[in-house]
Amino acid sequence: MSSDDVDGNKILAEALVAQGVKYVFGIVGIPVIELSMAIQQAGLHFVGMRNEQAACYAAQAIGYLTKRPGVCLVVSGPGLLHTLGGMANAQMNCWPLLVIGGSCAQDHEGIGGFQECPQVNLARPYCKYSARPPGLTLIPTHVEKAVRLSLYGRPGVSYLDFPGNILAQRVSDSKVVHTAICPEPPLAWPDPALVSQAASLIVRSMRPLVIVGKGAAYAGAEVIVRDFVRTFNLPVLPTPMGKGVVDDNDFHCVSSARTTALQHADTILLLGARLNWILHFGRPPRFDPNVRIIQVDICAEELHNSVPAKVAIHADIGTFTRQLIQQLIGHAWALRYMSPWWGQLNSKSDKNKAVIMKMTQDTRIPLNYYTVFHHIQEAIPKDCIIVSEGANTMDIGRSMLRNRLPKHRLDAGTFGTMGVGPGFAVAAALWCQDYAPDKRVICVEGDSAFGFSGMEIETMFSSCESSHVTGIPCSPYMQANWEFTALYNSLHLIQSFVKKFK
């Protein structure tokens, strides 16, 4: 062995660092034990979890929050199989994720190797890219490609497979094809003619509506989108994870008149949301059959899906909105004549708010969801990240718990996956630790949803004790959440729970 020899573990760990990866979540075992050590030696932040699925949820949440894929590191066979649910969830949510699976040594393949499994093929339906690097020297090339594909175009999942013998092999460092960091994804610019058509539709509209999805949050387009709706006084409806791109408390946010807004809008500007089940497919009876849709998406294949768009624009939301503002500037006066539409929305909103307010006053035991959430909302820090799942817990929580900031709501998402909460919360807490130390994470779980990944509570506490996750800001809240199932029983309990937030 010469002094400049490196093994596959070191090459892979350093390739991840070179691609700007910072966080790895996973479960360690044969054949990735040495890899997990190399990863930590290379300076990556490794969090050991209790189940691969939850590790995969954590890795994708950090990808959504940071716009660089988090890595989910798993063992062969069952390890990768447990991860598939998480991969599908990330792919459906369009979040960047890199899964790295150890796999059975190549000279044991086909003869009943330990945890032998066709992993590259199994991963493929849930990925944009699934591959096994053919040898040590090309590992950095494949890592760069996996990271690039997870980020470019519509974000999604990459899978890389590493047989134990490849990880353990050694080669001279001079032979390794080291690869530079893949640049930030290119911004797609809109066709100015289409922006002009969009502007003209909006100006002629009597009942316009802007729908903001989690694509707008991912795009980091909150400043320009807020500027846009305020300048032109447009009503905005966020999807569940589009909440916070425009502050829920902003006058322009019409969530409390959602049904009226969807049913009566004559022109809808769709910014980073799909017309899938979350938006009732964009079809009657929830939408006006003659509604004109202006669809903006970074994924050209998404355009016209479910309902043909009147104007379909392949662009980044930020670049599009900036150009749209320019086109509309001279027409701001026209849009201010929407008072009947605002009147309709405000009157419905007032009525709905009154009904809900009445429900929050009902303190009979067991407490109803609205009363519980009303008191939680009063207590929690107004800029905290809210992780939420469960059926009623998530649905009612969506309207009762407010988001002021983008990417501050993480929930069951496009795939409706239950069990995501604890993994998402671990990732969010880590993000807070590194980027916003004073921020808190609150995980509001339905009891059934919690059960899927409940063991990750231990990850939160054990990680806190290790040097890696010391001081995770959410840990006191996680502790408090143990009392959550009891909250429905009395207002007194809620009040004592709430004191912990102060």
Q: Are 171 and 140 in contact (CB under 8 A)?
A: no
Q: Which residue is nearest to ligand ADP (CB)?
A: 215
Q: Are 161 and 103 in contact (CB under 8 A)?
A: yes
CA angle 203, 209, 210 (to 5 degrees): 100
In this chain, which of 8, 79, 113, 272 binds ligand ADP, going by CB under 6 A? 272
- Selected range binding ligand ADP among 207-215, 326-334, 442-450, 492-500, rule: CB under 6 A: 207-215
What's the one-letter identity of residue 326? Q
> What track of x and - describes contact with ligand ADP for positions 144 through 173 (by CB under 6 A)?
----------x-------------------
- Selected range binding ligand ADP among 81-89, 138-146, 210-218, 343-351, rule: CB under 6 A: 210-218
Q: Least distance from C-beta 409 to ligand ADP, angstroms?
A: 10
Q: Which is nearer to ligand ADP, 176 or 401 (CB)?
A: 401
Check binding of 406 to ligand ADP (CB under 6 A): no
Helix (H) or strand (E) holding 389: strand 385-389
Residue 349: count of CB within 10 angstroms of its CB: 19
**In sequence order, what E strands does 123-273 have?**
129-131, 157-163, 170-172, 208-212, 236-238, 267-271
* Coil/strand/helix, residue 98: strand
In this chain, which of 317, 324, 425, 472 binds ligand ADP, going by CB under 6 A? 317
Q: CA-CA distance, 262 to 286, in Å (whole number)?
A: 6
By CB under 6 A, the residues from 49 to 68 that bind ligand ADP are none
**Beta bridge mates, 387:** 410, 443
Check binding of 388 to ligand ADP (CB under 6 A): no
Q: Least distance from C-beta 376 to ligand ADP, angstroms?
A: 23
In this chain, which of 34, 52, 222, 316 binds ligand ADP, going by CB under 6 A? 316
Q: Which of 161, 151, 155 minimizes the C-alpha distance to 181? A: 151
Q: Which is nearer to ligand ADP, 299 or 356 (CB)?
A: 299
By CB under 6 A, the residues from 430 to 459 that bind ligand ADP are none
Q: Which of 443, 433, 437, 461 minimizes the C-alpha distance to 385? A: 443
- Selected range binding ligand ADP among 35-43, 115-123, 268-276, 455-463, rule: CB under 6 A: 268-276
Q: CA-CA distance, 233 to 438, in Å (whole number)?
A: 33
- Selected range binding ligand ADP among 121-129, 211-219, 368-376, 389-397, rule: CB under 6 A: 211-219
Residue 453: count of CB within 10 angstroms of its CB: 28
Check binding of 69 to ligand ADP (CB under 6 A): no
Residue 457: both structure tokens together = 């509570």
Check binding of 300 to ligand ADP (CB under 6 A): no
Check binding of 313 to ligand ADP (CB under 6 A): no
Q: Least distance from C-beta 272 to ligand ADP, angstroms?
A: 4
By CB under 6 A, the residues from 212 to 251 that bind ligand ADP are 213-215, 218-219, 239, 241-242
- Selected range binding ligand ADP among 104-112, 199-207, 297-305, 394-402, rule: CB under 6 A: 297-305
Helix (H) or strand (E) holding 494: helix 491-499
Check binding of 101 to ligand ADP (CB under 6 A): no
Q: Which is nearer to ligand ADP, 271 or 444 (CB)?
A: 271
Q: Which is nearer to ligand ADP, 241 or 246 (CB)?
A: 241
Q: Are 267 and 294 in contact (CB under 8 A)?
A: yes
Q: Least distance from C-beta 47 to ligand ADP, angstroms?
A: 26
Q: Which is nearer to ligand ADP, 298 or 328 (CB)?
A: 298
DSSP state letter for 253: B
Check binding of 209 to ligand ADP (CB under 6 A): no
- Selected range binding ligand ADP among 68-76, 100-108, 209-217, 463-471, rule: CB under 6 A: 209-217
Q: Which of 369, 348, 174 minimizes the C-alpha distance to 264? A: 348
- Selected range binding ligand ADP among 208-216, 259-267, 382-390, 420-428, rule: CB under 6 A: 208-216
**In sequence order, what E strands does 69-178 have?**
70-74, 97-103, 129-131, 157-163, 170-172
Q: Which of 441, 423, 424 minimizes the C-alpha distance to 477? A: 441
Q: Which is nearer to ligand ADP, 240 or 422 (CB)?
A: 240
* Coil/strand/helix, residue 395: helix
Check binding of 314 to ligand ADP (CB under 6 A): no
By CB under 6 A, the residues from 78 to 97 that bind ligand ADP are 93-94
In this chain, which of 7, 161, 297, 445 binds ligand ADP, going by CB under 6 A? 297
The residue written with tokens 């630790």 in the block is 433
Q: CA-CA distance, 191 to 303, in Å (whole number)?
A: 14
Size, binding site for ligand ADP by CB under 6 A: 24
CA angle 234, 235, 238 (to 5 degrees): 125
For 88, 92, 227, 263, 487, the CA distances from 126, given in Å and listed in that order, are 5, 9, 37, 35, 38
What's the one-letter identity of residue 407? K
| End-to-end CA separation in angstroms for the chain | 59
In this chain, which of 30, 33, 299, 359 binds ligand ADP, going by CB under 6 A? 299
3-state helix, strand, coil in the chain (%, to 5): 50, 15, 35
Check binding of 424 to ligand ADP (CB under 6 A): no
Residue 187: count of CB within 10 angstroms of its CB: 11
Q: Which is nearer to ligand ADP, 69 or 272 (CB)?
A: 272
Contact footprint for ligand ADP (CB under 6 A): 93-94, 154, 213-215, 218-219, 239, 241-242, 272-274, 276, 278, 296-299, 302, 316-317, 414
